[in-house]
Amino acid sequence: MATLEQEGTEYIAPRRPAIALPRLRWTQILAISIFCFALNFHWTALGIIILPSQVFKIAGNATKGTALAYVLVPGAFVSLFANPLFGMLSDRTHGRLAAWGRRRPYILFGTLVNVLGLIWMAASHDIPTLTLAYVLVQFSSNAAQAPFHALLPDIVPAGQRGLVSGVMGLLAITGTIGGVIVAGLFVAASKPLPEYQRGLWLTYGIIIAVLVPLMLVTLISVRERMGASAQLETQEAEKSAEAPVQDASLEQPRRLSWVQKIPRSTKINVLSTLVVAAAAGWLSDRFGRKRIVYFSGGFMALVGLVFVIAHSLVIALAAGAIFGLGYGAYQSVDWALVVDVLPSHRNYARDMGIWNISLSLPQVIAPVIGGPIIDSFTRSGNSVAGYQAIFIMAIVYCLIGTVTVRYIKGVKR
């Protein structure tokens, strides 16, 4: 059993069964990862352009902020439990139910229900209806995302995890850019209502046209029967066939315990992440995940100070571009780092779903904390200070997240 030493404490790595995963060709890596593009295209278009514009058209300018929170927060709460729930269900899919795989049925049906939710959102003309439709989209999308995220540890061999994570990060960033561009071209709240509605339906249609085909590409390219979960199930079935019958009580498994407009520096940030997204994942396979996280987290925190002290648009734009380099490096490595420390082959999707709570929880917390802070400074006549306070909070959170990676003992470097 392997052991790692760190500051006088001993970490005992979990014993894992012998699983042999074949190396993936570039075509397989791209085909499996392409769903990342679709998901980020989908969520960026919704969150950055479509939802704020729909809320503005329905509620008006005076109450758009509160109304947007009413729509976003329930959906974000749903994602907190939906992701680990469907991950757990995926992990526990066996027998005939798993004839097509543990992950693919959830990805397929979750995406199809997601499409129905998008159509409902497009047809919504009041805040309660839009909220319910958005909740359905969150629920169904998470039903597909949790099993999809489990494909990385399930199918990708350890030596390629950084590379695949980098490719996924690159496609995710590209999807983000595409979602902003497409939604920004066709959806504008300043247009007359009939023209706005035509652009809105067109954009929803484009999202669906991206989501469904790319989902199918991923499903067709995945060979779940060669994955770690399938191999483990086969090994356990063989052992149980050879082992003597035992009391059922001894066989219980161990349970593990508004934006209306997009600032240009946001746009530049997203573009600059493309420069390092794939390279950082590849580098992490050779030099270590933690080292890339230390570099990217510290780099983002340092550049974040520029947004606090700078009062020049040119400097802010430059800082946005530089910040994107660090963010791109982090986004390309974090997935691989998580996969490296998953405790059990039996619960890949559930554990990845729990990890995804860290992506959903800020969607709940940020509007509740950030909105009142900005509103308070705005009422006092100093709105700039409100945004500076938000940036300071972001820097602190970034540093905390970077430092705590040090205590992940299952990864040496």
Q: What mean pLDDT do residues 58-65 have?
A: 76
Query: Residue 77 has what pLDDT?
Result: 83
Q: What mean pLDDT do residues 10-26 have?
A: 61
Query: Residue 39 has what pLDDT?
Result: 93
* Confidence check: pLDDT of 295 > 70: yes
**Closest by Cα among 117, 213, 104, 97 to 148:** 104
* Confidence check: pLDDT of 257 > 50: no
Distance CA 1, CA 16 (A): 10
Distance CA 397, CA 400 (A): 5
Q: What mean pLDDT do residues 83-91 have?
A: 84
How many other CB atoms are found less than 10 A from the CB of residue 70? 17
Distance CA 49, CA 136 (A): 19
DSSP code of 225? G
Stated length of the chain: 413
Query: Residue 234 has what pLDDT?
Result: 55
User: pLDDT tens digits, residue range 312-366?
Assistant: 777 777 777 777 777 777 777 776 777 777 766 667 677 777 777 777 677 667 7
Query: 72: which residues sit within 8 A by CB, 6+ positions away?
Result: 51, 134, 363, 367
Higher pLDDT, 323 or 257: 323
* Confidence check: pLDDT of 244 > 80: no
Alpha-carbon Rg for the chain, nearest whole angstrom, is: 22
**Closest by Cα among 269, 275, 359, 260 to 319:** 269
Query: Residue 344 has what pLDDT?
Result: 65
Query: Residue 278 has what pLDDT?
Result: 63
Taking all residues of the chain, what is their mean pLDDT, rounded to a whole number? 77
User: 320 to each of 87, 313, 386, how far by Cα in Å?
Assistant: 35, 10, 19
Going by pLDDT thresholds of 50, 70 and 90, the confidence category of residue 136 is: very high
* Confidence check: pLDDT of 231 > 60: no
How many other CB atoms are found less than 10 A from the CB of residue 302? 15
Higher pLDDT, 171 or 100: 171
Distance CA 290, CA 133 (A): 40
Q: What mean pLDDT do residues 199-228 have?
A: 87
Query: Residue 362 has what pLDDT?
Result: 75
Q: What mean pLDDT do residues 97-104 have?
A: 77
* Confidence check: pLDDT of 144 > 60: yes
How many other CB atoms are found less than 10 A from the CB of residue 216? 15
User: pLDDT tens digits, residue range 146-162?
Assistant: 888 887 777 888 778 77
Query: Residue 346 has what pLDDT?
Result: 66
Q: What mean pLDDT do residues 59-82 have?
A: 80
Full-model pTM: 0.70
**Closest by Cα among 191, 210, 247 to 118:** 210
Q: What mean pLDDT do residues 278-282 have?
A: 68
Higher pLDDT, 229 or 319: 319
User: pLDDT tens digits, residue range 370-391?
Assistant: 767 777 777 788 777 877 888 8
Query: 200: which residues sit within 8 A by CB, 6+ positions away?
Result: 50, 53, 54, 122, 186, 187
Q: What mean pLDDT do residues 50-60 have?
A: 89
Q: What mean pLDDT do residues 81-87 have?
A: 85
